Amino acid sequence: MKSSRSTINLIVRPSFILLLLLSLIAGCSFAQVPSPNANGAKPTAAEAEKFIREAEKRVSDLSIHASRADWVNSNFITDDTEALSAQANQELIAAVTQLAKSARKFEGVKLSASAERKFKLLRLALTLPAPGNPAEREELTKIAVSMKSDYGKGKYCPEGEKGKCLSLNDMERILATSRNPEELKQIWLGWHKVSPPYRPRYVRYVDLANKGAREMGFKDVGAMWRSNYDMTPEAFAIEMERLWQQVKPLYDSLYNYTRQKLVKQYGTQLVPPHGPIPAHLLGNMWSQTWGNIYSILKPANGDPGYSLTETLKQRKTDARQMVRYGEGFFTSLGFPALPDTFWERSLFTKPMDREVVCHASAWDIDNQKDVRLKMCIEINDEDFATVHHELGHNYYQMAYAPQPPLFQSGAHDGFHEAIGDAVALSVTPEYLKQIGLIGQVPDASADIGLLLQLALDKVAFLPFGYLVDQWRWKVFSGEIGAVDYNKGWWDLRLKYQGIAPPSPRTEQDFDAGAKYHVADNTPYARYFLATILQFQFHRALCREAGYSGPLNRCSIYGNKKAGAKLIQMMEMGQSRPWPEALKALTGEDRMDASAILDYFAPLKKWLDEQNRAMEQ
């Protein structure tokens, strides 16, 4: 459901479609679905096919009600809408859990490949499995909804400033622009006060969700999440580590350069030359993207000669026009225009009269054409790219809408995140000139600056994208116990990102919970995978478009041939294992980080040269 990144970080959400699909079984009475083995006889293939077919129909019939309840809760946060959303989720989890358990009676029945895949996806559809006990199931769903709502309502009210409270958007703007380390520290600490109140609920949530996962035949919730990639949980963990090791040298070069520049900016008392970078100095609340400190890091000759943010503001671009730019990119590739209902029902700006969850997300209300964007759009270059990212979700949702309900999702959840970002990689100076936002394309001398800006969002994100679920997998498995949540979180952040908190943290804190996806129960490995895949997609689409120059200069805007290749893959949804979908677009059946290494190769060489020079 959620997807996105508020700061071009990757980002949102449980696979909206599958969650939503099955939110639909919400309230389903299982007397309406054929009961296998009702007469004690061995179930037949025909009975199995009928079971999954009627379950899907029921799912489709109920989806509109359940998804609208969640939409209303996210856009009108009140006690009442929270209760309605919790009830819908409780019904969803109960129904899907019962369906998945009933479906296990068909194990061993020889089925068509399509039906067999549907049964597998049904079992894996929920990201929040619940116990069969009704009271525990109700408790779990209330906890899940309350954590998300508390996050959405979170504010920081500085002491001594009566009546002045800052929203997360307000705080992110300060982190992005201030260079006062004490102010940055207070803002960082202020937001991280939001999550400790729901730490005890999170402990209980882990216990209840693990119980539900075990009842469904999984070791724990983490193992269940890792089973959703057409491979074993163990194989998936190995695959994630393989991809991380491919990109780690690129991250290390960027990290070492950034640390040395921050030492010059803030001094060795604040930034240890050979120690971790303080988390509040990287321009982002979670240190997951570093583009906001580009002004500190930029090369001497890195000015591209334009500022997209300034251009958008000078032209008095509003939020709706930002979305029109994104739509125009997709229609140039051969996609249809967004439906009228998209423009009538989406949320583009933060309302002044109520609380909403501002985290950018793309929605599919009816699993057909009622797609929506929910985003508190800021007029800047980051949100310009984020709009493209979110519309990638919406166009993916519309592309696979003709598929049966259980196939209405990305090939795997990383695909859903990667589509929009692959398109956003075509937001190059060449593209901006084509649509009239700049008058002249900078020459190749500006490429290092442009590559560095992008790397501060994409490459800097990689370890964070990897560690969020590393932490949760360890929490779900018990390797990180409830008494060590914060220690485990910062151990991983130090190991993978090389960062440390701005002041000592204790187990009274709950810093993992200050990240939306933890509060919202959204698996996060998809964002790491999407960062890898988007470059693999981009390289393949540029090749399809007949482009042969540097990857960072390629834009597929207006290329119908590349668009047709993309549409072909998107229409497959989750009907086939993801390696087949990947091969349909790229000709490759294995995720491969060599494309991101190719894209940033000129920058890697430059960073290593700068690091050697600064160390001398």
| Cα three-residue angle 23-26-32, rounded to 5 degrees | 125
User: What gap in Å lies between CA 141 and CA 130, rounded to an integer?
Assistant: 8
Q: Which tokens is 279 given?
A: 């988390």
**Amino acid at the residue 302:** G
Contact predicate 74/4, CB 8 Å: no
* Beta strand pairing call for 361-364 and 371-374: antiparallel
* DSSP state for residue 3 in the 8-state scheme: -
Q: Which tokens is 488 given?
A: 């485990």
The residues assigned a catalytic role are: 359-360, 389-390, 393, 417, 517, 527
- Of 371, 268, 353, 438, the closest CA to residue 75 belongs to 353
**How many Cα neighbours within 13 Å face the side chain of 599?**
31
- DSSP conformation letters of 291-316: GGGHHHH--TT---S--HHHHHHHTT
For tokens 């000139």, the residue is 433
How much of the chain is in helix, strand and coil states, percent to nearest 5? 60, 5, 35
User: What gap in Å lies between CA 232 and CA 277, rounded to an integer?
Assistant: 36
User: What gap in Å lies between CA 272 and CA 267, rounded to an integer?
Assistant: 8
The residues near 376 (Cβ < 8 Å, ≥ 6 apart) are: 169, 347, 348, 349, 350, 356, 358, 360
Q: Which tokens is 291 given?
A: 């583009």
* Beta strand pairing call for 277-278 and 499-500: parallel
Contact predicate 117/513, CB 8 Å: no
State the Cα torsion 166-170-171-174 to the nearest 10°.
Answer: -130
Rounded to the nearest angstrom, the gap between the alpha carbon of residue 153 and the centroid of all alpha carbons in its chain is 20
Q: Is 114 buried (19+), middle (13-18) or exposed (0-12) by CB count in 10 A?
A: middle
User: What gap in Å lies between CA 567 and CA 19, rounded to an integer?
Assistant: 23
Contact predicate 168/283, CB 8 Å: no
Contact predicate 488/475, CB 8 Å: yes
Q: Which tokens is 415 given?
A: 């695909």
